Amino acid sequence: MVEDSFEITQAIEDGICRFTVKGRIDTNSADEFQSKMEDALKNGQKIIILNMSSVEYLSSIGIRVILKIYKQAAEADGSLKIEQPSEIVSNVLNMVALKEMIVK
C-alpha cells in the first residue's frame, strides 16, 4: 500500500451503515473520513460500524474524528462502533482509553 493511501467504502444493509476503512487516517485523510460519516448521519443513518481491519495508522486527528462522530451519533439516538480493529488501531484506542467504549 502506498504510504499516504486512504480508502473508505460504504455499504448500507438492514439499517446499518458500514464503512470499510483502509490505509492511513491522518491529517491528509481526516476530512474525507469525517465527511463520509457525517453525510451518513445527515441522511438518517443511526448505526455506524467501522471495519478498521486494514487501517495501518491512526493519528490523533483520526481519534478526534471518531470521537466527534461517536458523539453526533449518540445525540441522534444512534451509535458508532469499530469492528475488527487492526492491531495498530486496537493499541491506539487502548492507549487513549477508548477501546472498551467503541470496539464491538
Which CATH number fits the domain that encloses residue 29? 3.30.750.24
Task: Tell me if 49 is assigned to some domain.
Answer: yes
On whether residue 90 sits in a domain, the answer given is yes
User: How many domains does the chain divide into?
Assistant: 1
pLDDT of residue 1: 44
Q: CB under 8 Å to 89, separation ≥6 — which residues?
A: 52, 55, 58, 82
- Tell me: pLDDT of 2 over 50: no
Q: In this structure, are residues 40 and 66 in contact, taking their beta carbons and an 8 Å threshold?
A: no
Q: 24 in a domain, yes or no? A: yes
- pLDDT in the model for residue 3: 54
CB neighbours of 8 closer than 8 A, spacing ≥ 6?
Answer: 19, 20, 21, 22, 32, 33, 36
Whether residue 95 lies inside any domain: the answer is yes
Residues 13-44 have pLDDT tens digits of 988 999 999 999 999 999 999 999 999 999 99
Q: Is 103 exposed, middle or buried (0-12, 13-18, 19+ CB in 10 A)?
A: middle
Residue 1 lies in a domain: no
The amino acid at 5: S
* CA-based end-to-end distance of the chain: 26
Quote the domain boundaries for residue 54: 6-102
CA distance 100 to 22: 22
pTM over 0.75: yes
C-alpha cell at 6: 486512504
In a domain, 26, yes or no: yes
Give the model confidence (pLDDT) of 52-91 as tens digits. 999 999 999 999 999 999 999 999 999 999 999 999 999 9
